[in-house]
A = this chain, B = another copy of it.
Amino acid sequence: MFYETNTRSIVKALSWRVLATLVTTSLVWAFTHQLALAASVGGIEVVAKMILFYLHERAWDRTRIGRRQVKPAVVWFTGLSGAGKTTLARKVQEELTNRGFRSESLDGDVIRNVFPTTGFTRAERHAHVCRVGYLASRLESHGVSSIAALISPYAESRTFVRGLCKNFLEIHLSTPLAECERRDVKGLYAKARSGAIKGFTGIDDPYEPPTSPELTIDTSKTNVDDAARQIVDLVVSRS
Interface residues of chain A, those whose CB is within 8 Å of chain B, are: 1-9, 11-12, 15-16, 19-20, 23-24, 27-28, 31-32, 37, 40-41, 44-45, 48-49, 52-53, 56, 60, 65-70, 100-102, 104, 111, 114-115, 117, 123, 127, 130-131, 134-135, 138-139, 141-144
Q: Which residue of chain B has the shortest Cβ distance to A114 in the bound complex?
A: B134
Q: Which residue of B lies closest to A32 (CB)?
A: B37
CA separation between A47 and B123, bound complex, in Å?
67
Report whether B56 and A15 are in contact in the complex, using a CB–CB cutoff of 8 Å.
Answer: yes
Q: Tell me whether B142 and A56 are in contact (CB under 8 A).
A: no
List of B residues within 8 angstroms of A3 by Cβ: 67-68, 70, 100
User: Do B7 and A69 touch (CB < 8 A)?
Assistant: no
Instruction: Determine the chain B residues whose CB is within 8 A of the CB of A1 once the complex forms.
Output: 69-70, 100-102, 143
Name 28 interchain pairs, CB-CB below 8 A, sorted by A. A1-B69, A2-B2, A3-B68, A5-B66, A6-B66, A8-B65, A8-B66, A12-B60, A15-B56, A19-B52, A23-B45, A23-B49, A24-B24, A24-B41, A27-B41, A27-B44, A27-B48, A31-B37, A31-B40, A32-B32, A104-B138, A104-B141, A104-B142, A134-B135, A135-B135, A139-B139, A139-B142, A142-B143
State how many angstroms separate the Cβ of A28 from the closest Cβ of chain B.
6
Known: A135-B134, A138-B135, A142-B139. A67 touches B100 (CB 8 A): no
A111 to chain B, nearest CB (A): 8
Q: By DSSP majority rule, is chain A's interface helix, strand, loop, or mixed? A: helix
Residues of B within 8 A of A134 (CB): 111, 114-115, 135
- Which B residues are in CB contact (< 8 Å) with A37? 31-32
Inter-chain contacts of A5 with B (CB < 8 A): 66-68
Taking CB as reference atom, which chain B residue is nearest A7? Answer: B66
A144 to B101, CA, bound (A): 16
Instruction: Give me the 7 closest cross-chain CB pairs, A-B, nearest first.
Output: A8-B66, A5-B66, A7-B66, A142-B144, A2-B2, A27-B41, A1-B100
Residues of B within 8 A of A101 (CB): 1
